[in-house]
Structure 1
Amino acid sequence: MKVWLLALLLINLIGCSDNNGDKALQDYQQRLARVLQSETVNLPLPAAPPLAEPRDIKQPLPDLRIDLTDTLATRRCGLDTLIGERNSSLGRVYSASKQLSYELRFLNQLQQCLNLSWDNTALQQQLQQVYQQKQLSITNAFNNMLLTDDTLRKELLGVRNSLAVTEIAGLSETWQALRALNQLQQFIVEQNWQAASQVDIEQQLQQLYRYNVLGRLQHSLRISAHQLAQLNQQLAGVTPVSLCQPQPDKQQLDILANIFAKYFIAQVQQYTVNLEKYQQQLWPLLEELYRDTPLQPALQQRFAGNYQLMRTELGQHVSWWQQLNRQCPLQLTRQH
């Protein structure tokens, strides 16, 4: 047996100890390179489509003021507490998400105020004007949260940390958080201020931050598409027929079959299957949330575009194995 074949057989088949997707792909590529005696292809990762900067897309909100004497008159329906909250030292530096929460609570409380009977018709008219202006600006407040919140920006920009090959924690929680934000968006469209004000925005953002599934999914789709493209380029010069004719090397073919089962099927394919599942569950919610926003085109490419590239490169790679299986008696089977 050739020395390099013997060394390859002695390598632990468990794979990467950290069970990381891009490490599994890299390990798989290197094993194929060794058994096929081909050069690995290492190309720089293409840059992701840039996201518009928060300062360029944040929309101003109207600065509405109510006289102190009128504020005292609004104690009967609790508006004074909200006004005091906004004028506090913390209220003046609200994040976009906290600002949105405040605006929704204010609209809900103001709507209830206007349903009361008022002796002071001038104040009632003033409150009605404030209510109308708040309604007109609430979409800006929601979009400011979507486009500039630090937690969401981290998820949308991605992180250089791939998902695990196996099942991950936080998928359900991420789905629930995105669904809650979509429901909030719908409540705002319906002007259902009571329901909208009860959505705990900070809790949803905390769930996204805690598990960081979206940020890692984005990177995983991007890096897997890139690594599979490198792998296909590496195999472009290795035709299946050259491995079988005129005389097949049985030891080499046995190791290829082993790599196919232990590394491609058990790790690489399982990884891409999981990425597909995550993409199909999460991307429709994210796409709906950011539809008609300045970030939608870049997000489309970062998630859906890279997902399609991954599938295309994976299909090309599977085709190489299918051709090899037809040319040589490897009896390869592909799991689903």
Structure 2
Amino acid sequence: MPYRQLLVVILVFTFLALIGCEDNSAEDSLKTYNERLANVLDVSPSQAPDTDIPQLAKTRELALPIEDIRIGLLDAYELRKCGLFQLIAERNSVLGKVQDKTHRFRYELLFMDGLENCLETLPQDADILVDIKQLHQLKQQQLPIYLWNMLTTGEEWRKQFRIYRRAFTLGNFPGSVENQEAMRYLLAIHTALMNGETVPPKQAERLLVFQQQIHTHRYFGQLVYSIARSRDWLNSSTRLLESNESRIICGTNRNQQKAIYLSNVFHRFFASDIQPYFAELDSQYRQIQISLQVLLQPPSAVSTKFAPYYQSYIAGELHSSFREAIINHVKFWQRTFKRCQIKLGVQIE
């Protein structure tokens, strides 16, 4: 192999290695915390835990069928009188026929608003009025399905929910603001649809803005993986401490050096860095769960395929186990500090 080609190969592999070795400060902190506890206890640290959690079902398992509605050419032309013909023409253009799920849902919202306008402006004796009323009723039933399909099978939105197996770093949660805002917006859309209300065109157009804002992130899938990974590491550390509790000597006129060292590890790693990270994960999850419990309530047609994901991440089973892991860990320290008469919140040098 020529020298220049060899050099290029070396550089490429070096670059890939650097990417693979990129620090993940949350994972590193949890691992280091466990190692320091083990070092003080004079035992082996825990093995890195396996985090096996439910995945999002495949697109074909979540997509709901929607009846295709066709309007005759003469009827469509009649809709020119109430301003709906142009929108239909755009939908039937070459570009309109290859719309992504977000653009299609936007079109359906605009179309529904146009139907409302036709019902209000066309003469009451117009021949097409009966068909418009029937179309309006059918579209009202279909809109929640279009929203479901957009969220679970549209690429930009689905990417947010697929599990991304890399925990957030300490103090850095990319996509949190964009996703929280997008889900609150979609919740407002969903609420309007359930109440039989029409979404104004300006509101419908905002769909494209939110799609653009979220498309570079994998927020929710990364959030729940971060929670799961934190839970598993914390449970490992709690088991490490509890199984070696007899090694922590305390009492009057006894050498409490090991307990003091452990207290310093607690303050240096858990209280200073890890606990604030856990608090932020908890806060962000609780905020977005409110919207997702409504938006991702599975229709009966896909409930079986979607149930493991929904129960774990949306209904809150994972979050509950995460909070339980924190409580169990803190209880160990409270018990130990009380037994060793070490005041909680004070680091002993």
TM bin (shorter chain): 0.7 to 0.9
Mapping for residues 26-41 of structure 1, pairs under 5 Å: 26-41=31-46
C-alpha contact 2:26 2:168 (8 A) present in aligned 1: yes
Instruction: Give the TM-score normalised by structure 1.
Output: 0.83
2:288 corresponds in structure 1 to: 282
Instruction: Give the distance between the partners of 2:213 and 2:59, measured in 1 at CA.
Output: 22
1:76 is the counterpart of 2:90: no
1:13 corresponds in structure 2 to: none
Q: Helix, strand or coil: the match of 1:122?
A: coil
Q: Helix, strand or coil: the match of 1:159?
A: coil
Would the alpha carbon gap of residues 221 and 39 (structure 1) be closer, same or farther in structure 2, given more than 3 Å must change?
same
Q: Helix, strand or coil: the match of 1:115?
A: helix
Would the alpha carbon gap of residues 177 and 231 (structure 1) be closer, same or farther in structure 2, given more than 3 Å must change?
same
Instruction: Give the distance between the partners of 2:122 and 2:279, measured in 1 at CA.
Output: 61
1:248 corresponds in structure 2 to: 255
Mapping for residues 224-239 of structure 1, pairs under 5 Å: 224-239=230-245
- 1:302 CA displacement: 2.6
C-alpha contact 1:48 1:302 (8 A) present in aligned 2: no
- 1:102 CA displacement: 0.8
1:219 is the counterpart of 2:231: no
1:25 is the counterpart of 2:25: no
Of all paired residues, the percent bearing the same amino acid is 27
Q: Deviations over 1:25-56 (max 9, x none)?
A: 11111111122122222255242224332212
1:306 corresponds in structure 2 to: 318
1:268 corresponds in structure 2 to: 274
Instruction: Give the distance between the partners of 2:141 and 2:184, measured in 1 at CA.
Output: 24
- 1:24 CA displacement: 1.4
C-alpha contact 1:158 1:215 (8 A) present in aligned 2: yes
1:113 corresponds in structure 2 to: 118
Paired residues, number: 318
**Runs (5+) with no aligned partner, structure 1:** 1-16
Instruction: Give the distance between the partners of 1:28 and 1:102, measured in 2 at CA.
Output: 52
C-alpha contact 1:179 1:285 (8 A) present in aligned 2: yes
Would the alpha carbon gap of residues 185 and 297 (structure 1) be closer, same or farther in structure 2, given more than 3 Å must change?
farther
Amino acid at match of 1:268: I
Q: Deviations over 1:84-138 (max 9, x none)?
A: 1111222222222221111111111122112223498333333333323222322
Give the counterpart of 1:55 among 57, 60, 63. 60
- 1:66 CA displacement: 2.1
**Runs (5+) with no aligned partner, structure 2:** 1-21
2:209 corresponds in structure 1 to: 203
Instruction: Give the distance between the partners of 1:136 and 1:332, measured in 2 at CA.
Output: 58
Give the counterpart of 1:320 among 309, 321, 332. 332
2:3 corresponds in structure 1 to: none
Amino acid at match of 2:108: E
Relative to structure 2, which stretch is displaced further, 185-194 or 252-261? 252-261
RMSD (CA atoms): 2.8
- 1:253 CA displacement: 3.8
C-alpha contact 1:241 1:327 (8 A) present in aligned 2: no
Instruction: Give the distance between the partners of 1:83 and 1:184, measured in 2 at CA.
Output: 22
Amino acid at match of 1:309: S
Relative to structure 2, which stretch is displaced further, 67-76 or 307-316? 67-76
C-alpha contact 2:160 2:217 (8 A) present in aligned 1: no
Q: Helix, strand or coil: the match of 2:168?
A: coil
- 1:186 CA displacement: 0.9
Amino acid at match of 1:328: C
Would the alpha carbon gap of residues 194 and 333 (structure 1) be closer, same or farther in structure 2, given more than 3 Å must change?
closer
Q: Helix, strand or coil: the match of 1:121?
A: coil
Would the alpha carbon gap of residues 21 and 329 (structure 1) be closer, same or farther in structure 2, given more than 3 Å must change?
same
Q: Deviations over 1:147-179 (max 9, x none)?
A: 212233222222122223236465443322111
Relative to structure 2, which stretch is displaced further, 133-142 or 184-193? 133-142
Amino acid at match of 1:327: R
- 1:330 CA displacement: 3.6
Q: Deviations over 1:63-102 (max 9, x none)?
A: 2222223333322222221111111222222222221111
C-alpha contact 1:35 1:256 (8 A) present in aligned 2: yes
Instruction: Give the TM-score normalised by structure 2.
Output: 0.81
Relative to structure 2, which stretch is displaced further, 219-228 or 20-29? 20-29
Would the alpha carbon gap of residues 162 and 334 (structure 1) be closer, same or farther in structure 2, given more than 3 Å must change?
farther
1:66 is the counterpart of 2:71: yes
Relative to structure 2, which stretch is displaced further, 75-84 or 166-175? 166-175
1:182 is the counterpart of 2:187: yes
C-alpha contact 2:55 2:309 (8 A) present in aligned 1: yes
- 1:196 CA displacement: 7.0
Would the alpha carbon gap of residues 45 and 242 (structure 1) be closer, same or farther in structure 2, given more than 3 Å must change?
same
Mapping for residues 168-179 of structure 1, pairs under 5 Å: 168=173, 170-179=175-184
